[in-house]
Amino acid sequence: MATVMITGANRGIGLELTKRYAAAGNEVIACCREPDKADALQDLDNVQICGVTVADGDSVAALAAEIGDRPIDILINNAGTPGPAPDQQSALQMDFDGWADAFAVNTMAPLRMLQAFRENLKAADGAKAITITSQMGALDLNWPVMYAYCSSKAAVNKVMRMISVELANDETAVALIHPGYVKTAMGGPDAEIEASESAEGIISVIEGVSLEGTGCFMKWNGEVHAW
Ligand SMILES: NC(=O)c1ccc[n+]([C@@H]2O[C@H](COP(=O)([O-])OP(=O)(O)OC[C@H]3O[C@@H](n4cnc5c(N)ncnc54)[C@H](OP(=O)(O)O)[C@@H]3O)[C@@H](O)[C@H]2O)c1
């Protein structure tokens, strides 16, 4: 059984991933900003709830100290924010502070987590570093909406693609996964799939992630995503 660390584990896709990995007998380190309010995580077996604010370096360092040298088989960078209100992240109207926040959470935090837990991944056998990105970050998909969100996801795609080369030396495989258009707080009620369906697909995709294909950009349903 694996040790799986998941950020943004308290709701949405992260919660569904946590439930499934834990139910399958894996040990899940379920990370969230406010553990005391993470009611959905409280009664799950095989789940260690950890508080961390992924965009805060001190907070991530404190989590790393808490976890120590425990091997981590799968790190899933899932926590994410849509950024400013849609009408505040357009070509003509931009909340620049909100854009910076979106970058801190969606782009920098996944790298921060990878840096903090690199040795834990290295200590595991065949570790995987996964980032939940979005189709909105694909250059191939050129919709002029949500500038802050889209650019933060495009940037994390590039960062993870680059680090996949370096982490191959640790024998850690890296993958980016678009989770689908999902009915969560972020996706809204009119989205296409349930979070449970997305999580099942993501877990199946993660099973297939390997060093041979490291640096890939996949969809939740197993298809390769265009960059
Ligand atoms: N839903 C979709 O259609 C869709 C599509 C493409 C990609 N995605 C990606 O999928 C991932 C999960 O999204 P979701 O749909 O499950 O969204 P969600 O239900 O809104 O959950 C978002 C998670 O991220 C955490 N989070 C939000 N802002 C944060 C911040 N500033 N610092 C730290 N954590 C923060 C939330 O924690 P709190 O509860 O503390 O706020 C929550 O755990 C995200 O990376 C998102 O970009 C979603």
**Ligand 1 binding pocket includes 31 (Cβ within 6 Å):** no
Tokens 């040990």, residue?
27
Six token digits for residue 110: 């996944």
Assign 6 to helix, strand or coil.
strand
The per-residue pLDDT for 178 is: 98
Q: Give CA angle at 63 (61, 69), nearest 5°.
A: 95
Assign 87 to helix, strand or coil.
helix
Best of 5, 131, 182 to mutate for ligand 1, by most ligand atoms within 8 A of CB? 182
Ligand 1 center from residue 82 Cα (angstroms): 8
Q: How far apart are CA 154 and CA 107, in angstroms?
A: 9
The per-residue pLDDT for 135 is: 98
Q: How far apart are CA 118 and CA 100, in angstroms?
A: 25
Ligand 1 center from residue 139 Cα (angstroms): 21
The per-residue pLDDT for 78 is: 98
Q: Which atom of ligand 1 is nearest to the CA of 191?
A: 3
- CB within 8 Å of 56: residues ≥ 6 apart: none
Note whether 69 and 120 are within 8 A (CB). yes
Tokens 């390997």, residue?
210
The second-level CATH assignment, the architecture, of 3-219 is 3-Layer(aba) Sandwich (3.40)
The per-residue pLDDT for 193 is: 98
The per-residue pLDDT for 211 is: 98
Assign 5 to helix, strand or coil.
strand
The per-residue pLDDT for 162 is: 98
Residue type for 21, please?
Y
Domain ranges of the chain: 3-219
Q: How far apart are CA 115 and CA 60, in angstroms?
A: 10
Q: Which atom of ligand 1 is nearest to the CA of 135?
A: 6
**Ligand 1 binding pocket includes 76 (Cβ within 6 Å):** no
Ligand 1 center from residue 41 Cα (angstroms): 16
Comparing CA positions, the residue from 130, 119, 102 lying closest to residue 5 is 130
Q: Which atom of ligand 1 is nearest to the CA of 33?
A: 40
Supply the residue whose CA is at minimum distance from atom 40 of ligand 1: 33
One digit per residue, pLDDT tens: the chain, 227 residues?
999 999 999 999 999 999 999 999 999 999 999 999 999 999 999 999 999 999 999 999 999 999 999 999 999 999 999 999 999 999 999 999 999 999 999 999 999 999 999 999 999 999 999 999 999 999 999 899 999 999 999 999 999 999 999 999 999 999 999 999 999 999 999 999 999 999 999 999 999 999 999 999 999 999 999 99
Six token digits for residue 197: 């369906």
**Ligand 1 binding pocket includes 11 (Cβ within 6 Å):** yes
Ligand 1 center from residue 89 Cα (angstroms): 18
Comparing CA positions, the residue from 66, 14, 79, 21 lying closest to residue 46 is 21
- pLDDT tens-digit series, residues 2-41: 999 999 999 999 999 999 999 999 999 999 999 999 999 9
Six token digits for residue 45: 């077996």
